[in-house]
Amino acid sequence: MNTGLAGKAVIITGAGSGIGRASAQHFAREGALVAVADVRLHKAQQTVDLLAAEGHRSIAIEVDVSEPAQVERMVNDTIAAFGRLDVLFNNAATVRVGNAVELTVDDWDIVWRTNVSSVFLGAKYAVPHMPAGSSIISTASLSGLAADAGLISYNATKAAVINLTRTMAVDFGPLGIRVNCICPGVTMTPAMKGFMSDDRLRELVLAATPSARLGEPEDIAKAAVWLASDQAAFVNGQPIVVDGGLTIQNGFSLMQQARGLDPQ
């Protein structure tokens, strides 16, 4: 596939591990120059070291994506290093568990600033530097399309990311900048691996997934590369679901898939 990404400059937030790290590797393999941004500088540097071992050029940037000054600096540092900015991948996110009664106001604010304000701030500081043909991508979630018990802030923020994507596509489309988001399903990031160590839960999820496997960070990374590429030049304002088919079935189908599993 001719992606047209060779020589393009890409910022990926949350690139110190998981989906962000896999995305950094895939963009770099397409010839892109990658700014590896993460709140944990040592993790960002580990990703840079992996890319360097493959002969790719990248830089590590420490950033708290909820802080305006740090996001602005991230953009400026990328342009100083590479002389341009063509792709912004807003991948960093956080989660706090609790319903509307249980969740603290501070935790609510942290999740909104990290998951939603970061997308606004990224566009605010990146778009003025992005030429026509550029792309903004954000990691949303299936949790932005349907509800999960006890994840009120995460669900609300990921739904907001989806509509932010649509709004920015309308706003920046006339500039030649496409804006899309990805809604991953169950993806085996480091955090999810711990969650899926419960064999019963793993079996239930696998039974409900037509592709009969769990997602890997590389699955999301490949979608991000495609969205940023020339191959997706007419794709704009879309939430792209990458979930192995988890969300395509109705309740009766899911019960049939799970038949024979112990619900207890």
106 neighbors 31 (Cβ within 8 angstroms) = no
Place of tokens 């939603």: 116
Helix, strand, coil share of the chain (percent; to 5): 50, 15, 35
- The pTM score is 0.93
30 neighbors 226 (Cβ within 8 angstroms) = no
180 neighbors 226 (Cβ within 8 angstroms) = no
Kindly give, in sequence order, each residue whose CB lies less than 8 Å from that of residue 210, ignoring residues fewer than 6 positions away: 244, 245, 246, 248, 249
Active site residue 154: yes
Question: Cα separation of 183 and 149, whole Å?
Answer: 18
| Full pLDDT tens readout for the chain, 264 residues | 689 999 999 999 999 999 999 999 999 999 999 999 999 999 999 999 999 999 999 999 999 999 999 999 999 999 999 999 999 999 999 999 999 999 999 999 999 999 999 999 999 999 999 999 999 999 999 999 999 999 999 999 999 999 999 999 999 999 999 999 999 999 988 888 887 788 888 888 888 899 999 999 999 999 999 999 999 999 999 999 999 999 998 766 656 655 555 444
Question: What ranges do the domains of the chain cover?
Answer: 9-187+215-248
Name the residue type at position 73: R
What's the residue count for the chain?
Answer: 264
Name the residue type at position 258: A
Q: Please give the structure tokens belonging to residue 74.
A: 């991230």
* Assigned CATH for 9-187+215-248: 3.40.50.720
Q: Which of 27, 82, 154, 226 is catalytic?
A: 154
Closest CA to 13 of 30, 35, 31: 35
